[in-house]
Amino acid sequence: MRLHAPLIIDIAGTALTDVDRARLAHPLVGGIILFKRNWADRAALVQLCADIKAVQPDLLICVDHEGGRVQRFRTDGFTHIPPMRALGEMWMDDGKGKKYREGAGAMRAMNAATAAGYVLGTELRACGVDFSFTPVLDLDYSDLAPTPAQALAAPQGGPGSLGRPSASRSSVIGDRSFHRDPRVVAALAKSLMHGLLQTGMGNCGKHFPGHGFVQADSHVDIPVDKRSLKAILDEDAAPYPWLSSVLTAVMPAHVIYPKVDARPAGFSEKWLKDILRGRLRYDGAIFSDDLSMEGARRINGQLISYTEAALQALNAGCDMVLLCNQSLGFGEHVDQLLDGMDAALRDGRWVPDEDSESRRLALLPDTVPQAWDDLMRQPAYLQALDLLP
């Protein structure tokens, strides 16, 4: 067992190069995140995952595969998973006229969420992928999103009487969110997580403590949420303690909440150690969001290097850090991160954490996946397909 391998990196193409293999063999690299550019077809993905495992068997192969617009693999048999908002709308739909039955929409939605998790997990695992960064636990602050009161008493006529949200307050979250009500979000997320766990795959709640309220996109901006800690914990962060029995990983937001800390949540000991670990008693893995995003590049107003961003995230309480899309071209930023982390380890600016390594290893599936052709005939998989909205 390695002492601690906290770095999650990526590759540029659909097959490993010698440079990719050398980077993945680095003792501080614990995983890889795949993107749409790494997809050629299903056979190539299976081969790529096998080649990655041949470098280091315990590398965690990850992907952002939520459904809707955030789904990296969409062809050659992969099911198009609906956006999570579709499940929230199903929750609100109790039928019309004689078909109206109070609570029927909620039950259908929870079954559909479990099915979505099962389909998502089995298809990825059949190709060799270990882990997906899903589900989004952010709340839907669209202008016309159902309120918590409406969620508890969905009116006859279902979501059509409420109107479909035309625009989300958050430009990056949008229909990736299940619902406006944190109770509905928690119920549907738990159902989806149950489907994932049935396949042997973990889950990742994101973006703690909540990205849905801010309009700015942390990929290109530094969002600021000026609400109080109480308001955030009562609303946006509420799903996290409710899901504590099934949540295997958390990804904090690159959002600043100035009434709590001047640093973005993913670089804040207050958020990660005091609140998430201490107050909310979460003990699973914590991933940083992508360190190349604008929201991670400036800490306390200063532009910092990827190595410094990784060190600050790890020292704040992250177990693993992601550097995405920097393998393109010559990938010099990936090499700089690897060299910088080596130097930080030698200089004592970063101390490996055995508990963090245990959390990383716990995310690796411990069951054998089904082959794709067998999956296509499996009754549970076929039933799950029928339950999707």
Which positions are annotated as active-site residues? 219, 289
Distance CA 379, CA 368 (A): 18
Q: DSSP character for 66?
A: E
Sign of CA dihedral 188, 277, 313, 2: negative
Q: At residue 22, what are phi and psi to the nearest 5 degrees?
A: -65, -40
Distance CA 90, CA 28 (A): 44
List 29's β-bridge partners, or say none: 7
Distance CA 225, CA 216 (A): 10
Helices assigned H by DSSP within the chain: 18-24, 42-55, 84-92, 104-126, 148-152, 182-198, 229-234, 239-242, 269, 294-297, 306-316, 332-347, 354-362, 372-375, 379-387
Instruction: Tell me the one-letter amino acid at 247.
Output: L
Residue 87 tokens read as 């499940």
